[in-house]
A and B are shown apart, each in its own frame.
Chain A
Amino acid sequence: MMINNFFILLRQELLISAIIFILLFIKLGKDRSNESILHVINLLLCLNFAAGFIPMLEGELFNSMFATSKLVVLEKNILNLTIWIISMQSYAWLKTHQHVIEFYILLLTSLLGMFFLISSGNLLMFYLGLEMSTIPLAAAANFDLTKRQSSEAAFKLIISSAFSSSLLLLGISFIYGSTSTLIFSEIPMHLIYSPLQIFAFILLVSGFAFKISAVPFHLWTADVYEGAPVAVTAFLSVVSKAAVLFTFTALLYKVFTPMASIWYAILILLSLATILIGNLFALRQDNLKRFLAFSSIAQLGFILIGISGSSQQGFSSLVYFIIIYVFSNLAAFGVISLVSAVTGKENMNDFKGFYKNNPILSWVLTIALFSLAGVPPTAGFFGKLFLLMAGAANGNYWIIAFAALNMVISFYYYLKVVKAIFMDENEAPMQTIAIPTYPKVAMLICVAGIILTSFVTFIYDYIQSLSISL
């Protein structure tokens, strides 16, 4: 009983590890062309994503170290989809790269870590998942082995993440010391407003804030995003952020309920700072990856507002927004990675008059940006507004007003890109870029997601029904 239960509940994790092993074996065998390898990998990832739809039961393992539920499964599926899209998008870049398999192994390992992170029921498991998801990423960030910036980014990532995790650990140790337990379900009953616990909690929060890059713990983000290969940047900005957010929210709602008044205030403060700083920095960026880094920081501010709202609606709007955010952000990164893989250009000025030769890419990028900006009919509109609605539930309308007005600022810089693409004159616009099949499929999925998510209403209803169980 225990055994097959084990196999069922851990199915997604096992699948990922299986893929990793397959890759290792491929590596052991005689070396094949990148194309064939990529075909196999994309197929595997697609299957992995498809497998996620097979219904599975809820339950706990390793005396509540590992817990899974429908919601967790959904979250993991979202991540599966994401990694599949990313891998398809980075086709153009990986085709010529000499360490394809290693790259995938790193990414998948980190994904595995995230899975454990999401379904962790114990601070120890949580810590393990966190580190397991971070360390490989640092290595992956360095994957443009010859580029100075790439290794600088990797260095910044590893150092700052190590620093943050040490602070996180300090927090955990204090919690352990003051509550005698590491198990999530037991912590709440030991929580009292003792300064030590508050301090520990703040340390914990800072650890999360670092991962999801909330101001003032965000400073690594831009540099790493800029330096790392686009695929890794996409992974950082979408997958790891999503995973950590899921965990963070679950932790806040389930474990730290007694401290609600405090974390509520903290979230508000962080979100205000994050939105403002993120916008102000995004305003003046020229490198598109860096620009997207700051824009994603600003996005995070909205997410925090959403989380700060009433629990159930907050959580569902979060998950909903993440789905949309995945599509929108990946669509943008897809175009940029393709362009930078082919031409090596990542600057806004290079995109002037982009529409002339690349109408399709331009539209994809535009739609993605509009979705990020939250303009109807793209789904981003709904995602963002639902977050704000969730935040408004507590009646703090001034913050909503602040956020809404900041949307205008963010609007400005998104439109700046659109302006560059469509309106600015450029005597030497970028040449026409051929779109390989895999990226094409990826973009198709993303655009379809952006357009349709809001009109296929059962998605939201489903999330809502799940998050009730929270």
Chain B
Amino acid sequence: MNLSLLILVPLLTAVAVLLGNGLKQIRAIAFIGSLVQLGLAANLLYVFLQSKGAGNTAPMLFEYNASWFAPLHINYHVGVDGISIAMILLTSLIVVAGILVSWSMEKLSKEYFFLLVLLSMGAYGFFISLDLFTLFFFLEIAVIPKFLLIGIWGSGNKTNSAMKLALMLMAGSALVFVGLMGIFYNTHTFDIMEIAKMQIPLQVQLFFFPFAFLGFGIFAALFPFHTWVPDGHASAPTAASMFLAGISMKLGGYGCLRVATYLMPEAAHSYSWIIILLATIAIIYGAFATMMQTDLKYINAYSSISHCGFVILGIGMLTKTSINGAVIQMVSHGLMTALFFAAIGMIYSRTHTRMVAQLGGLLKVMPFIATTFVIAGLCSLGLPGFSGFVAEMTVFMGSWQNADGMYRLATIISAASIVVTAVYILRATGKSIMGPIHQEHEVLLDATWNEKLAAILLITGIVIIGMAPFLITNLIGPSTDNLMLQIGKAITLK
């Protein structure tokens, strides 16, 4: 299958959106476009599994390599493995859901949907790129739409949040760029697969790994560079928050894995203790900070910090299982947090408040939305049957295999966060969903069909992973094996 379609379709959709007029037409176009993307992703999965089943053991499938800036060794090189496919599926799901929840976006709807689609294009491109420059290109494409989405359609202190988010992400990509330069001038290629074959000198790695990792880390809300997350998420319109937490933060995690760790494994190995330290802090710190929040969106945003900590932790532990876990956690957190934001958005659009204290007993009047919220919450606190459990347990298992005492401690501390998670999730649920209802909320209505569809879509994803994790492990397993070959080399080298 031709991967470029994944970029082409959003592009065409965006153009079509610009040409369309009237909310009805535009959202229809966007929706159809997103459905096509979903279809593409599904088809991609199908053909991928087929050719894997046919015994194709190539690290990357469906590769396409065309020269872009030949003198600078910049190619348009795309290809997928299990991990990227998981990410692509996640993206397409969230895109559909996001467009569904912003079904009645009256204000500047054309620009709004255009930017949403553009954002999704950046994500797709990022996940399929095998050329560092292209990858970086798409990484940055995904920044500006966020700025505009938050700044124009946001709520609260939106411009400040938008500015903070854009600048911090830009700083992140600046660091990434330096890292790329270092890699490029020591290998004279941007091609990830090529570089993986080569051996970057240890000194070089030690110098450039921090740039690359921190750079992507900022995208993945690595402590202490996470402060864009709460404000950004809180101010963003619902769909934007879903994209932000569901997709963009995954760009960071994926980059940390695919670029920083995969290409500079020795450095990753020698720096792993710092990574793990930061991740552990992020996890527990995020969890406790969440406990103190009173705004639903802030609660979810901070919990995202804590959950993305697991991704970093999994990567930092450098065992196959833990990296598997990191990937699963990316997918799971993407779906879960998107669902959470969707539910919050639905509640907010009805009650016009996100303050836990001002809500209550919503289960009575809007059972569907409330149930969605509860499901998201249970997934977030890692209840079996939902994806969160699988992801976290895999990370713990993997981390635990790392027999070093300090790493053990880190694992235990991170595992302890599940209790705190339970505390804040149940507080939020207990106050806003359960308990006595405010009489002014008595008259509110339950979800509309599009909201229901969006929620069901995401829940399905969550439940599938939660009920049948072997599906996703089978998908990403071989790819993580490839990663591990590289990393294993590094660790044995030392």
Contacts and interface: CB of A to CB of B under 8 A. Distances in A.
Direct A–B touching in the complex (beta carbon < 8 Å)? yes
Interface of A: 313, 316, 370, 375-377, 381-382, 385-386, 388-389, 392-393, 395, 397, 400-401, 404-405, 407-408, 411-412, 415, 418-419, 422-424, 457, 460-461, 464
B167 A408 contact: yes
Contact of B181 (A392, A405, A461): A392
Contacts of A464: 71
B144 interface: yes
A415 B181 contact: no
A375 B144 contact: yes
Nearest to A363: B111
A407 B67 CA distance: 27
A411 B70 contact: no
B178 A400 contact: yes
A376 B140 contact: yes
Given A404-B178, A423-B152, A389 B184 contact: yes
Given A375-B143, A375-B144, A408-B174, A397 B181 contact: yes
A426 to B, nearest CB: 13
- The residue in A313, A404, A460 that gathers the most chain B C-beta atoms within 10 A of its C-beta is A404
B449 interface: no
Contact of B71 (A382, A392, A411, A460): A460
Nearest to B69: A460
B159 interface: yes
Contacts of B181: 388-389, 392, 397, 400
Contacts of A385: 177
19 contacts: A313-B72, A377-B137, A381-B137, A382-B69, A386-B69, A388-B177, A392-B181, A392-B184, A395-B185, A397-B178, A397-B207, A397-B208, A400-B178, A411-B166, A415-B147, A419-B151, A423-B151, A423-B158, A460-B69
Interface in B162-184: 162-163, 166-167, 170-171, 174-175, 177-178, 181-182, 184
B247 to A, nearest CB: 17
B68 interface: yes
Which 10 A-B pairs have CB atoms at the shortest separation, nearest pair first? A404-B174, A392-B181, A464-B71, A423-B151, A401-B178, A376-B141, A408-B170, A408-B171, A376-B140, A411-B170
B122 to A, nearest CB: 8
A415 B166 contact: yes
Contacts of A405: 171, 174
B211 interface: yes
Given A377-B141, A388-B181, A400-B181, A461 B175 contact: no
Contacts of A377: 137, 141
B396 to A, nearest CB: 36
A401 B152 CA distance: 31
Contacts of B167: 408, 411-412, 415
A419 B163 contact: yes
A407 B159 contact: no
Contact of B185 (A376, A392, A460): A392
B148 interface: yes
Given A408-B167, A457-B68, A461-B70, 4 more contacts: A375-B144, A376-B138, A401-B174, A408-B170
The size bracket of the interface on B is 35 or more
Given A313-B71, A381-B137, A401-B211, A412 B163 contact: yes
Contacts of B138: 376
A323 to B, nearest CB: 14
A395 B188 CA distance: 13
Contacts of A422: 148, 151-152
Contacts of A404: 174-175, 177-178
- The residue in A386, A392, A395, A461 that gathers the most chain B C-beta atoms within 10 A of its C-beta is A392
Interface of B: 67-72, 137-138, 140-141, 143-144, 147-148, 151-152, 158-159, 162-163, 166-167, 170-171, 174-175, 177-178, 181-182, 184-185, 207-208, 211
A419 B159 contact: yes
A310 to B, nearest CB: 11
Q: Is the interface of A mostly helix, strand, loop or mixed?
A: helix
A316 B140 contact: no
A460 to B, nearest CB: 6
B68 A415 contact: no
Nearest to B185: A392
A401 B174 CA distance: 7
A334 B140 CA distance: 27
A82 B427 CA distance: 63
A59 B211 CA distance: 48
A316 B71 contact: yes
A419 B207 CA distance: 37
A423 B147 CA distance: 11
A412 B147 CA distance: 11
Contacts of B70: 457, 461
B174 A381 contact: no
A370 B144 contact: yes
Contacts of B166: 411, 415
B144 A397 contact: no
Given A389-B72, A393-B185, A397-B181, A407 B151 contact: no
Nearest to A404: B174
A386 B158 CA distance: 34
B404 to A, nearest CB: 32
A412 B160 CA distance: 11
- The residue in B71, B72, B143, B152 that gathers the most chain A C-beta atoms within 10 A of its C-beta is B71
B195 to A, nearest CB: 16
A380 to B, nearest CB: 11
Contacts of A392: 181, 184-185
Nearest to A375: B144
Given A377-B141, A401-B178, A407 B170 contact: yes
Contact of B163 (A375, A376, A397, A415): A415
B218 to A, nearest CB: 11
A397 B204 CA distance: 11
Nearest to A393: B185
Contacts of A375: 140, 143-144
A407 B143 CA distance: 14
B161 to A, nearest CB: 11
Nearest to B166: A415
Contacts of B211: 401
Given A401-B178, A407-B170, A415-B166, A461 B71 contact: yes
Contacts of B162: 419, 423
A371 B237 CA distance: 26
Nearest to A409: B167
A385 B148 CA distance: 23
A398 B137 CA distance: 22
A405 B177 CA distance: 10
A235 to B, nearest CB: 30
A132 to B, nearest CB: 35
Contacts of A423: 151-152, 158-159, 162
A397 B207 CA distance: 10
Contacts of A397: 178, 181-182, 207-208
Contacts of B178: 397, 400-401, 404
Nearest to B137: A376
A457 to B, nearest CB: 6
Nearest to A312: B71
Contacts of A370: 144
A24 B20 CA distance: 50
Contacts of B143: 375
Nearest to B160: A419
Contacts of B140: 375-376, 381
A407 B174 contact: yes
Contacts of B148: 418, 422
Contacts of A316: 71
A352 to B, nearest CB: 12
A189 to B, nearest CB: 31
B189 to A, nearest CB: 13
- The residue in A313, A316, A377 that gathers the most chain B C-beta atoms within 10 A of its C-beta is A377
A400 B174 CA distance: 9
- The residue in A388, A407, A408, A412 that gathers the most chain B C-beta atoms within 10 A of its C-beta is A408
